[in-house]
Amino acid sequence: MTLTKSKSQIRMERTLATRRRMVRAAYRLFCEKGYAATTMETIAREAEVAVPTLYFTFRTKGAILGEALGAAVMGFDEPMRPADAGWYQEFTGELDPRRALKILVENTTPILLRVGPLLAATYAAASDPEIAPVSALGEQRRHDDYRAIVQILARKGGVRRGLTVARATDILLVLLSPQLLDALANGRGWSAPECDRWIIEVLSQQLLTAD
């Protein structure tokens, strides 16, 4: 039996689709042109919406940058925190720490590669009162998630002796970061598989017990 959608459901779906189109347009422009050069008018034109629609939805450029940053992390179409994704369950269930680390890196780097090109715009807007708390919250969540990852690896018996959870978390934060991935992929032209292989190799050396 085919269920007929109500008018309100249709309106909500259209509104959500329009919002997502505006966020995607803002993401592309912020990555390509930077924060200062991207205006609300250019975002509206890229998203094919009226300028008042953009202002009504987000109010400010800072607000739409914050949403674009969140979408880069959690996905543009069906937002989900990485820790809630199916691959994360595979990572936690994998008994071998080296295979678990490979699962982690290969599923985290696509997220970081989306975030990396947006960093310059985020830094440029650092003084914006709407952006600062978004960036701080994002970094705090990344720290907490990475600390949990280190603790999971430790329970698998994979973290090398003498390495504290705090130090291992710091290593993971630096080596599995959007800044490093952006430098390798966009700065040096490395492919995604090349980035994965190198990061897995270095993290294995820095975090895990020797074979």
Name 159's bridge partners: 208
What average pLDDT is seen over the chain?
A: 89
Report the percentage of the chain scoring pLDDT > 90: 61
Which range, of 27-41, 122-136, 165-179, averages the lowest pLDDT? 122-136
Domain boundaries, the chain: 7-207
Considering only the top CATH level, what class is 7-207? mainly alpha
Please tell me what DSSP assigns to residue 118.
Answer: G
Between 80 and 64, where is the model more confident? 64
The pLDDT, as a whole number, for residue 1 is 46
What tens digit of pLDDT does each residue of 97-141 get? 999 999 999 999 999 999 988 988 888 887 778 788 878 888 888
